[in-house]
């Protein structure tokens, strides 16, 4: 194979990168009161964020509720290399970034038994960007990856009787993705060194997919509440642009080969798969305390593979195997209601979704432990206003790749994430 054909092959492979963006990056931070209890709210949620956590609980709300909230996520990720590549002693770090996650909910008791809820939130997302893209040892995999989603949900809850409520609703998910990576080739003259010759950028527009949700709420007595929810999978067929930018090396022969082999800028399409989520919870309310435990099951196995289709150059098309696993999260929380305010705390554990073969600089997924503290206060005329806040410390277990890592990029990732959230609920 001559030099030009080898270079063309390298550039074609660079056009079809691994984009395992969403596994383990569901965003459960959609309500400050529930997150103060580590997300354990399927049974006891008592504000308009029930549109997300359990729409059947909307029937327990009186009047009309307007909920404005959000969270700010700040992740810290580092990487320590291992043999054979990039080798022991190599350390890398992601840029320190801040990701705002807003949410808005509106709930209204329409009739004695019928309640409606509308919500806008962001249930999935990812943002990774490594420092110094010109030197990052994993830049041939990715220097930056982002997934953004906006979900609009509508739900109707019906009180069958004083004990049982059920709900059914629909979701419209809008999502877009961006990924950047470099193409490296051996530097002419040997010696084993590599040189950057091109940057590939894939970026889609917002595209939509449809899903549905359902819930049930059971309150057998004043002390016990039970709840269950289901949010269906959503498939989004995304379309966008693939852009190939040459990086001059200073070697005229190599630069000429790159220019002749670089793929054309063109349209690209893929399929984004957002998994179904099941949740089951039970709450106990002795006196001024509420204690809840939830199980949340996410069908990440939906990500068996990722297809990429290029508009002009079909030889760039590729289907990338992902083979993610379903995950279970255990969430336990408590709140104590006092005359002046309510304080909350909780803990959760969630399994990793990505197998070792799929762990990469795009998504260093691992099992995680979350600890939360929360505080709430009701105020104003007729106590119509409620403000809640929480802080989450997410301790992600160290995750090491193995010798069969798909990208041949081996080492250990360490991640810590802090999330600070606030919500304001007004009812009339």
CA 388, 283, 28: angle at the middle one, nearest 5? Answer: 50
Q: Could you give the CA distance from residue 334 to residue 290 in angstroms, rounded to a whole number?
A: 6
**pLDDT (mean) for 378-393:** 95
What is the three-class DSSP state of 292? strand
What are the angstrom distances between the C-alpha of 123 and each of 28, 120, 152, 366?
6, 10, 10, 19
CA distance 45 to 423: 14
The whole-angstrom separation of Cα 81 and Cα 123 is 32
DSSP string, 285-323: --TTEEEEEEEEEE-GGG-SEEEEEESS-GGG-EEEE--
pLDDT at 24 (0 to 100): 56
| pLDDT of residue 372 exceeding 80 | yes
For residue 329, the model assigns a pLDDT of 96
CA 88 to chain centre: 30
Which run of H or E residues covers position 415? strand 411-427
**N-to-C CA span, the chain:** 74
| pLDDT tens, residue by residue, 61-76 | 999 999 999 999 999 9
Inform me whether the pLDDT recorded for 233 exceeds 50.
Answer: yes
Burial 299-325 (b: 16+ CB within 10 A, else e): bbebbeebebbbeeeeebebebebebb
DSSP for 216-236, written as a single string:
EEE--SSSEEEEEEEE--EEE
Q: Residue 10 above 60 pLDDT? A: no
Tokens matching residue 242:
């693939």
Instruction: For tokens 């220097």, name the residue.
Output: 143
Q: What is the pLDDT of residue 420?
A: 96
* Closest by CA position to 280, among listed 234, 328, 324: 328
Residue written as tokens 């435990």?
A: 293
- Which residue(s) pair with 329 in the sheet? 296, 350
The pTM of the full predicted model, rounded to 2 decimals, is 0.90
What 8-state DSSP symbol labels residue 130?
Answer: B
Assess contact for 202 and 266: CB atoms under 8 A.
Answer: no
Phi-psi region of 167 (alpha: psi -120 to 50; beta: other; left: phi over 0): beta
- C-alpha to C-alpha distance for 86 and 408, rounded to whole angstroms: 9
Judge whether 321 and 304 are in contact, CB under 8 Å.
yes
| Burial per residue of 337-370, b for 16 or more beta-carbon CB atoms within 10 angstroms, e otherwise | eeeeebebbbebebbbbbbbebbbbbbbbbbbeb
Distance of CA 233 to CAs 123, 212, 393, Å? 12, 8, 28
Q: pLDDT tens digit string along 82-135?
A: 998 999 999 999 999 888 999 999 999 988 899 999 999 999 988 899 999 999
DSSP per-residue string spanning 169-193: EEEEEEEEEEEEEEEEEEPTT-SS-
Q: Are 327 and 367 in contact (CB under 8 A)?
A: no
Q: Please tell me the total count of domains within the chain.
A: 1
Q: At 266, is the secondary structure helix, strand, or coil? A: strand
As a whole number of angstroms, the distance between CA 263 and CA 316 comes to 9
- As a whole number of angstroms, the distance between CA 170 and CA 118 comes to 10
CATH of the domain at 282: 2.40.160.60
Tokens of 123: 């249930």
Residue 19 has pLDDT above 50, yes or no: no
Whether the link from the prior residue into 86 is cis, omega within 30° of 0, is: yes
Q: What is the CA radius of gyration of the chain?
A: 24
pLDDT for the residue numbered 218: 98
pLDDT of residue 379: 94
Tell me which residue has tokens 């305010």.
341
8 Å CB contact between 203 and 218: no
- CB of 186 closer than 8 Å to CB of 151: no
Q: Which range among 10-19, 290-299, 319-328 has the greatest average pLDDT?
A: 290-299
Residue 214 CA to residue 232 CA, distance in Å, equals: 9
Structural domain that includes position 267: 3-427
Q: Is the dihedral of CA 126, 131, 132, 134 positive or negative?
A: negative
Pairing of the two strands 164-186 and 224-231: unpaired
Q: Is the pLDDT of residue 151 over 80?
A: yes
Q: What percent of the chain has pLDDT over 70?
A: 93
């Amino acid at each position: 194979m001559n030099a030009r054909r080898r270079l063309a092959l390298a550039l074609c492979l660079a056009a079809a990168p691994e984009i395992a963006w969403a596994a383990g990056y569901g965003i459960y931070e959609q309500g400050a009161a529930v997150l103060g209890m580590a997300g354990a709210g399927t049974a006891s949620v008592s504000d308009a964020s029930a549109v997300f956590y359990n729409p059947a609980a909307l029937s327990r709300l009186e009047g009309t509720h307007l909920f404005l909230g959000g969270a700010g996520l700040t992740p810290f990720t580092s990487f320590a290399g291992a043999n054979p590549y990039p080798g022991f002693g190599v350390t890398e770090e992601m840029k320190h970034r801040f990701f705002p996650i807003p949410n808005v909910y509106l709930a209204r008791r329409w009739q004695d038994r019928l309640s409606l809820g509308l919500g806008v939130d962001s249930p999935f997302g990812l943002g990774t960007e490594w420092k110094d893209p010109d030197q990052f040892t994993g830049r041939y995999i990715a220097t930056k990856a982002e997934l953004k989603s906006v979900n609009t949900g509508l739900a109707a809850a019906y009180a069958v009787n004083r004990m049982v409520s059920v709900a059914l609703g629909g979701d419209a998910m809008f999502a877009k993705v961006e990924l950047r990576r470099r193409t490296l080739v051996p530097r002419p003259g040997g010696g084993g060194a590599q040189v950057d010759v091109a940057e590939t950028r894939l970026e889609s527009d917002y595209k939509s997919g449809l899903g549905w949700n359902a819930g049930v709420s059971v309150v057998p007595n004043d002390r016990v509440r039970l709840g269950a929810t289901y949010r269906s999978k959503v498939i989004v067929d995304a379309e966008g642009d693939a852009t190939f930018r040459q990086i001059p090396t200073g070697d005229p022969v190599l630069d000429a080969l790159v220019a002749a082999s670089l793929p054309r800028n063109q349209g690209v399409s893929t399929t984004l798969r957002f998994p179904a989520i099941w949740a089951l919870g039970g709450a106990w309310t002795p006196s001024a305390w509420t204690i809840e435990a939830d199980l949340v099951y996410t069908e990440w196995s939906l990500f068996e593979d990722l297809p990429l289709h290029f508009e002009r150059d079909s030889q760039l098309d590729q289907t990338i195997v992902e083979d993610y696993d379903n995950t279970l999260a255990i969430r336990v929380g408590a709140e104590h209601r006092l005359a002046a305010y309510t304080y909350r705390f909780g803990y959760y554990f969630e399994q990793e979704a990505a197998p070792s073969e799929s762990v990469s600089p795009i998504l260093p997924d691992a099992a995680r432990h979350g600890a939360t503290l929360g505080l709430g206060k009701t105020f104003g005329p007729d106590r119509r206003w409620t403000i809640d806040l929480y802080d989450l410390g997410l301790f992600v277990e160290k995750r090491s790749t193995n010798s069969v890592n798909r990208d041949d990029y081996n080492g250990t990732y360490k991640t810590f994430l802090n999330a600070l959230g606030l919500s304001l609920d007004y009812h009339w």
